[in-house]
Structure 1
């Protein structure tokens, strides 16, 4: 609570700064989204809405370094500021964050990452108009800071987070759709060609991991699934992931017969090169991860293994999506604003109970639509 007390002690300063900087015309906007890939993709509808409502304003996005390639090439974004979450630790870090925000002289800030450091930074910076979503459960600290924000909108249990964002913007008369968008690098086509991924839309993409290991399928299930896909479908199976997923992909390739039709693409693509791959796929299979939302951005037919996630809150919204969900008594335990990284029961039943046949049934349903 020390930072709340400090915020209140500084109130005369930041309140005066807000009043002196306030002007009728919105010329500079800051959007704050410092979460990972999937959350940034789900923030792009907000970017599109702000650009449409304020066509002449400069729009800056404060983001985590990993998401830079999603937004850096968007015409709707004028400036990007990459920031690491460990940079705002302690009093000094939060003060530097506030100075960084204040230096932009923004007229409007829209915060999609409702954490103590970011709220303090926005308040201390004296941004004239601040909007922020609030988590499903607001503790005492955030509740005390909430009254220092001009407009807030709290997420409701079981509600699509995009709907929360829509309500926040509607307070300012800003209409928001659900369409996502990301930057596309032309070099992605060359990577696809180098890997000899066919252009006939017969390949099936399979995400082999997740940043949150609680959600990942594991090498045994992946190997069995690849073997079944090779048996039932004549096209390629493309294993998709980052450089750190290379060893697991290698294990899977080594376990299956017909490995010449399995392409290990782990680490082969930069983030903004992946759209070229997605547009060559017949189907994408994955868990709740950034790759899944990237595929959804391009309306790729997909099967999503839900795992521990409450997919009422955030999920792919494309026209051809099937969900595979095993729901033990502890389900759901992972939420947008409260995401555990270890299994409370120790058995990951929501993943362990998923069978290859469950995924194949969903696959056939999607492809027969």
Structure 2
């Protein structure tokens, strides 16, 4: 509670700063989203809404380094500030964050990452108008800081978080749609060609991992799935992931027959090069991770193995999306504002009970009539 007490002690200072910085027009906007790839993609509807409502304002996004390539090339974004979460530790870190925000002289700040450091930074910076979503459960600390934010909107259990963002922006008179967008690097086409990925939309993309290991399929299921895909579908199977996924991809390729149709693309693409790959695919298969939301951004038919995530709160929204959901007694245990990284039951049954037939059934349903 020390930061709450400090915030209240600073009330005269930051209230004065808000008055001195207030302008009649909104000329500079700060959007705060410091979560990972999937969350940033799901924040792009907010970016589009802000740009539509304030076409002449300067829009800056404060973000995690890993998401920079999603937004850096967007016409709607004027400036990007990458910041690591460990940079705001302690009082000195939070004060540096506040000074960084204050230096931008923003007229409006929209916060999609309702953590104590970011709320303190926005309040201490004296931004004239601050909007923030609030987590599903608001503890005493955040409840105290909430009183210092101009407009807030609390996420409701089981609600799509995009709906929470819509209600927040509506309080400022801003209409928001659901369309996502990301930057596209032209170099992605050259990477696809170098890997030999066909242009006939016959290839199936398969995400081989997840940042949250609680959600990943594992090499046994991946190998069995690739074997089945090679049997049932004539095109290539593209294994997609980062450089750290290379060993798993190599293991999967080594286990299957017909490996000449399997392309190991782990680590081959930069984030903003992946749209070129997605637009060559017939279908994408993944878990609840950034790659799945990236495929959905480009309306690729996809199958999402939901795992432990409450997919009522955040999910791909496309017409050609199908879900594989197993619901053991402990399901769901992962929520948009409460994300564990290990299985309390120690069996990951929401993943380990998924069968290849479950995924193939969803694939065929996703491709039906298309």
Matched residues in 2 for 1:310 and 1:343: separation? 15
Q: Aligned-residue CA RMSD in angstroms? A: 0.3
Q: CA deviation at 1:23?
A: 1.3
Q: Deviations over 1:70-119 (max 9, x none)?
A: 00000000000000000000000000000000000000000000000000
Who is 2:10 aligned against? Answer: 10
Is 1:312 the counterpart of 2:312 in the alignment?
Answer: yes
Who is 2:176 aligned against? Answer: 176
Matched residues in 1 for 2:50 and 2:5: separation? 33
Who is 2:161 aligned against? Answer: 161
| SS of structure 1 residue aligned to 2:213 | coil
Matched residues in 2 for 1:13 and 1:35: separation? 30
TM-score (norm 1): 1.00
Is 1:230 the counterpart of 2:230 in the alignment?
Answer: yes
The aligned runs of 1:29-48 (5 Å cut-off) are: 29-48=29-48
Matched residues in 2 for 1:206 and 1:134: separation? 34
The aligned runs of 1:112-127 (5 Å cut-off) are: 112-127=112-127
Is 1:349 the counterpart of 2:349 in the alignment?
Answer: yes
| SS of structure 2 residue aligned to 1:59 | strand
Q: Deviations over 1:256-302 (max 9, x none)?
A: 00000000000000000000000000000000000000000000000
Who is 2:69 aligned against? Answer: 69
Report how many residues are paired. 369
| SS of structure 2 residue aligned to 1:319 | coil
Matched residues in 2 for 1:234 and 1:296: separation? 23
Matched residues in 2 for 1:342 and 1:195: separation? 35
Structure 1 stretches of at least 4 aligned residues deviating more than 3 Å after TM superposition: none
**Unpaired stretches in structure 1, ≥5 consecutive residues:** none
Who is 1:191 aligned against? Answer: 191
Who is 1:22 aligned against? Answer: 22
Is 1:220 the counterpart of 2:238 in the alignment?
Answer: no
Q: CA deviation at 1:367?
A: 1.1
Is 1:280 the counterpart of 2:280 in the alignment?
Answer: yes
Who is 2:143 aligned against? Answer: 143
Is 1:294 the counterpart of 2:294 in the alignment?
Answer: yes
Matched residues in 2 for 1:150 and 1:368: separation? 48
Matched residues in 1 for 2:276 and 2:218: separation? 26
| SS of structure 2 residue aligned to 1:73 | coil
Q: CA deviation at 1:65?
A: 0.1
**Unpaired stretches in structure 2, ≥5 consecutive residues:** none
Matched residues in 1 for 2:176 and 2:137: separation? 24
Matched residues in 1 for 2:64 and 2:77: separation? 15
TM-score (norm 2): 1.00
